[in-house]
């Protein structure tokens, strides 16, 4: 601690310094205050610019299910944006057809009044897809129906070659004993010998008991018909051989095969269930072509066949005509509506083959009324306001 008294000279020096520099203190304070205002102005300008850009195109964050899938098919939310400059909402889905039967159509449960606000719809590369607003009686869903079928596994628009060629059963009578399991697709081939090495395109054919010239209803009704058309295996039992069951005698079920759009069936086969232990399913499976060795139990057109049967034995190293899965198809489906929308959960249905599946997904549910009758913004006060569309930057 300094105990010496301050000299008169030192006090005079300090007073002189304060007198000389005092006028600069307000200026320094002003500089500091001005710098603060400058920083605030710069930060505010950047903030306003960012807000304006965000008002032009924003990516919506919406809550709800973003995916529905069943039996190899799926619809998944892809993107959602709002363009405030043009007052438009665009949302898209990724649709995958990958089941045993391709998607024939799917329906999105949008409110029907949204059809008045449609700007554009695209389905994959197709900018003018087949769509329909209303009630879908097949699935029970009301909304926007996308009707352009998909290719892929067993699909309605399958372009797999060969297509729509005449088919036949490779045996007239398929004899089964109790407990045996079979898949009816093992007993179908193309009639043209040149095509019998090709897998049958199951999108083009189906099995029936009635229709297309057939009139053989079974007891019980449509015995295993859904299994046949879905490619499922069937196991028979003594119960299938009970008196009064069948359509061509006890335990005998005649089935017909028809191509899509054809007025008459191509061929028929009778599935006969009995207790005979000597029935051989493998011997009845299809070969790729007739080799003239029919044994009288098949349907051979061969010169050496007994009766009018084709051969029941499969030659070695021959591939059966049987369902072969094709690749799946994926599309991006995009819908653009005028206006801004609140998103929520809507119904969704997928139809493929003889089946359909219903679920839900996130999509627009309510239109936010931000336009007047002239299509102009309802914001008042000229160009002021954070939501003014004219404040967006022009590219």
Contacts of 10 (CB under 8 A, 6+ apart): none
How many beta carbons lie within 10 A of that of residue 117, not counting itself?
16
Averaged confidence pLDDT in the chain:
75
pLDDT class of 150 with cuts at 50, 70, 90: confident
The whole-model pTM stands at: 0.43
Residues 104 and 172 in one domain: no
Residues 123 and 203 in one domain: no
Phi-psi region of 132 (alpha: psi -120 to 50; beta: other; left: phi over 0): beta
Average pLDDT over residues 290-296: 34
Question: Is there a domain that residue 2 lies in?
Answer: no
pLDDT class of 211 with cuts at 50, 70, 90: very high
pLDDT class of 154 with cuts at 50, 70, 90: very low
What is the domain range of residue 241?
167-284
CATH number at residue 115: 2.60.40
Q: Say if residues 242 and 229 touch (Cβ distance below 8 Å).
A: no
Q: Radius of gyration over alpha carbons of the chain, in Å?
A: 38
C-alpha distances (whole Å) from 97 to each of 74, 104, 324 are: 7, 9, 16
Residues 52 and 113 in one domain: no
Residues 39 and 143 in one domain: no
Alpha-carbon dihedral of residues 379, 384, 389, 395, nearest 10 degrees? 170
Question: Is there a domain that residue 64 lies in?
Answer: yes
Residues 109 and 217 in one domain: no
Q: Say if residues 254 and 270 touch (Cβ distance below 8 Å).
A: yes
Q: Say if residues 84 and 57 touch (Cβ distance below 8 Å).
A: yes
Contacts of 296 (CB under 8 A, 6+ apart): 305, 306, 307, 309
Residues 257 and 356 in one domain: no
pLDDT tens figures, 328-343: 889 999 999 999 999 9
Question: Is there a domain that residue 321 lies in?
Answer: no
Helices (H), 247-333: 281-284
- Domain end, chosen from 229, 251, 284, is at 284
SS3 content of the chain, % helix, strand, coil (to 5): 20, 35, 45
Question: Is there a domain that residue 305 lies in?
Answer: no
Residues 271 and 349 in one domain: no
Residues 53 and 65 in one domain: no
Residues 17 and 69 in one domain: no
Please return the burial class of 60, using the count of CB atoms within 10 Å of its CB with bins 0-12, 13-18 and 19+.
Answer: middle
Helix (H, G, I), strand (E, B) or coil at 242: coil
Question: Is there a domain that residue 237 lies in?
Answer: yes
How far apart, in whole angstroms, are the C-alpha atoms of residue 139 and residue 150? 18
Alpha-carbon dihedral of residues 27, 28, 31, 32, nearest 10 degrees? -140
Report percent pLDDT > 70 for the chain. Answer: 62
C-alpha distances (whole Å) from 169 to each of 122, 224, 240 are: 42, 17, 22
pLDDT for 318 equals: 30
Count of domains observed in the chain: 3
Residues 12 and 112 in one domain: no
- Span of 3-12, 39-48, 72-81, 152-161 with lowest mean pLDDT: 152-161
Residues 82 and 135 in one domain: yes
How far apart, in whole angstroms, are the C-alpha atoms of residue 378 and residue 369? 9
Average pLDDT over residues 223-243: 95
For the chain, how many residues are written?
A: 395
pLDDT for 320 equals: 33
Question: Is there a domain that residue 192 lies in?
Answer: yes
Residues 127 and 97 in one domain: yes
How far apart, in whole angstroms, are the C-alpha atoms of residue 287 and residue 290? 7
Point out which residues pair with 177 in neighbouring strands.
Answer: 274
Tell whether the model's pLDDT for residue 198 goes beyond 60. Answer: yes
Question: Is there a domain that residue 365 lies in?
Answer: yes
Question: Is there a domain that residue 342 lies in?
Answer: yes
């Amino acid at each position: 601690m300094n105990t010496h008294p301050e000299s008169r000279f030192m006090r005079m020096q300090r007073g002189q310094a304060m007198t000389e520099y005092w006028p600069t203190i307000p200026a320094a304070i002003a500089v500091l205050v001005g710098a603060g205002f400058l920083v605030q102005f710069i930060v505010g300008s950047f903030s306003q610019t960012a807000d304006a850009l965000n008002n032009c195109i924003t990516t919506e964050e919406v809550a709800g299910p973003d995916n529905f899938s069943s039996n190899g098919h799926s619809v998944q939310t892809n993107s959602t944006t709002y363009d405030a400059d043009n007052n438009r909402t665009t949302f898209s889905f990724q649709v995958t057809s990958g089941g045993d039967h391709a998607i024939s159509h799917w329906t999105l449960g949008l409110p029907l009044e949204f059809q008045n606000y449609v700007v554009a719809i695209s389905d994959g590369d197709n900018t003018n897809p087949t769509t329909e607003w209303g009630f879908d009686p097949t699935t029970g869903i009301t909304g926007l129906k996308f009707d352009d079928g998909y290719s892929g596994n067993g699909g309605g628009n399958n372009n797999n070659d060969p297509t729509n060629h005449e088919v036949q059963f490779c045996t007239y009578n398929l004899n089964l004993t109790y407990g045996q399991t079979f898949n009816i697709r093992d007993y179908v081939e193309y009639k043209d010998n040149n095509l019998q090495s090709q897998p049958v395109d199951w999108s083009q054919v189906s099995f029936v008991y009635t229709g297309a010239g057939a009139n053989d209803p079974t007891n019980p009704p449509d015995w295993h018909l859904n299994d046949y058309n879905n490619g499922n295996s069937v196991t028979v039992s003594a119960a299938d051989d009970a008196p009064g069951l069948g359509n061509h005698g006890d335990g005998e079920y005649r089935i017909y095969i028809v191509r899509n759009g054809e007025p008459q069936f191509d061929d028929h086969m009778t599935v006969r269930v009995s207790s005979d232990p000597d029935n051989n399913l493998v011997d009845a499976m299809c070969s790729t072509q007739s080799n003239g060795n029919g044994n009288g139990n098949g349907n051979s057109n061969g010169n050496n066949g007994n009766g009018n049967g084709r051969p029941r034995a499969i030659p070695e190293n021959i591939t059966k005509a049987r369902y072969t899965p094709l690749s799946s198809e994926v599309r991006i489906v995009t819908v653009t509506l005028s206006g801004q929308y609140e998103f929520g959960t809507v119904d969704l249905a997928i139809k493929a083959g003889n089946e359909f599946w219903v679920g839900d997904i996130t999509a627009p549910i309510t239109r936010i009324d931000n336009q007047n009758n002239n299509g102009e913004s309802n914001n008042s006060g000229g160009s002021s306001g954070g939501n003014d569309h004219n404040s967006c930057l022009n590219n």
